[in-house]
Amino acid sequence: MSFDSINPATDERVASFPETSPAEQEAALGRAALAADAWRLSHAQERGALLQRVAALLRAGRDHYADIITLEVGKPVTEARAEVEKCAWACDYYAENAERLLGDEKVDVGDADARVAFLPLGVILAIMPWNFPFWQVFRFATAALTAGNAALLKHAANVPQCALSIARIFREAGAPEGLFQALLVRAPSVPALIADARVHAVTLTGSEAAGRAVAAAAGRALKKTVLELGGSDAFIVLADADLDRAAKAAVVSRYQNAGQSCIAAKRLILVESVAEPFLEHFTRHVKALKVGDPRDPDVLMGPLARRDLRETLHEQVTDALSHGASARLGCQIPEGPGSYYPPSILDHVRPGMRAYGEELFGPVAIILRARDSAHALALANDNRYGLGASLWTGDAVRGAALARDLQSGSSFVNAPVKSDPRLPFGGVKASGYGRELALYGVREFTNIKTLWVAP
């Protein structure tokens, strides 16, 4: 069965690639094991030098790689270029900080020399999604390789060109044979890969269902896992917030990448006293979004990545409308080719509707109304997910205090949620466990080992 690149703006199949055969998978596992054995002995400077070369290739080929991203997932080309640059930034961060992040930590225990060392695990299997097809991969790979591991990538089925391009970048940068490889395999092949003794840990970014399946397979094999799953991030606007500033940020957060982001502002929770004034600002800015051909640099929103994603999104919207929600803007499937869905606002969403409890992975903002700040926090936490949250207020000190009570892996005050190589990234509850990026992310892929040497 082939892996097809389908342009979601036109529904055209533009390329096909053969599946990695069982024999090829076996060979890849063997190469990865050998590469891991050698790479674990490399110095932090050698690992950093590789990432610096990768960063240079990313920047030199930025427009080419952005075009591939746009072709396969429909992301506006300006966003795709920014994604490639962010990958290069992550390479820079780990190249510059590898020794600091992985150096031994001495512990005062008296006469003995006691320390904690951070040593590589071996081969890391990464199961990655399509929505940020370069960034999600580099988010794990930079940390894993910096820690001295080898990496096997099982990417989403609809982005084979992205997967192969990333593997090619590492080869061209001079990575040892087998250190980073892409396997074009489907979900049924994953349990066997996880169970293979040459794989030592698994990281997944994807749906809650995929996370449960991978965690179960890894549990049977006693393999370490890091899971970054879905999110239904709250975007709280309190009565003293700068409404237009908050509205502009909400538009970017909700509709970037056509709303297909785990940390998008999916649930806009508005204190009732400012709900209508905020929505006036928000609706005006949403209407100004230019939707169209994602190859056009002036377009701010392209299509969804696949037709089935649009169908699922519209089912959630239709359910909410049938139970009393109102379509303030959009909420209708347009005619014509491609997987387009208009920037939409779904107002008066309440408990019992699918849109209240589920993640809406597309350009639909749902509106919840709160009596006051305490009610707003209660609404924000009344959700199975806990990836990120954003809170807007004129009192930053009070906002910081409230942000601590949000059940999320990260809480931003007067700023939209984002990932940053300098900060750990991950969630709680059904959004998964473990952390990527920064010190905590690189140490997820290590054996945190106690060393005790008596005189």
Instruction: Determine the Cα–Cα distance for residues 362 and 421; give it in Å rounded to an integer.
Output: 25
Q: In b/e form, how buried is each residue of 214-242, taking b as 16+ CB within 10 angstroms?
A: bbebbeebebbbbbbbbbbbbbbbbbbbe
Which residues, in sequence order, are bridge partners of residue 436? 425
Instruction: Determine the Cα–Cα distance for residues 216 and 332; give it in Å rounded to an integer.
Output: 38
Q: What is the DSSP string of 314-381?
A: HHHHHHHHHTT-EEEE--SPPSSSS-----EEEES--TTSHHHHS---SSEEEEEEESSHHHHHHHHH
Give alpha helix (H) positions in 228-295: 243-255, 272-287
Three-state DSSP at 441 gives: helix
H or E stretch at 120: strand 113-120
Q: In b/e form, how buried is each residue of 197-212, taking b as 16+ CB within 10 angstroms?
A: ebbbbbbbbbebebbe
Using alpha carbons, select from 399, 401, 293 the residue that is nearest to residue 76: 293
Is 280 among the residues known to form the active site?
no
**Catalytic site residue from 208, 228, 358, 444:** 228
**Catalytic site residue from 262, 331, 358, 359:** 262
Instruction: Determine the Cα–Cα distance for residues 77 and 238; give it in Å rounded to an integer.
Output: 34
Is 162 among the residues known to form the active site?
no
Instruction: Determine the Cα–Cα distance for residues 154 and 152; give it in Å rounded to an integer.
Output: 7
Q: What residues act catalytically?
A: 228, 262
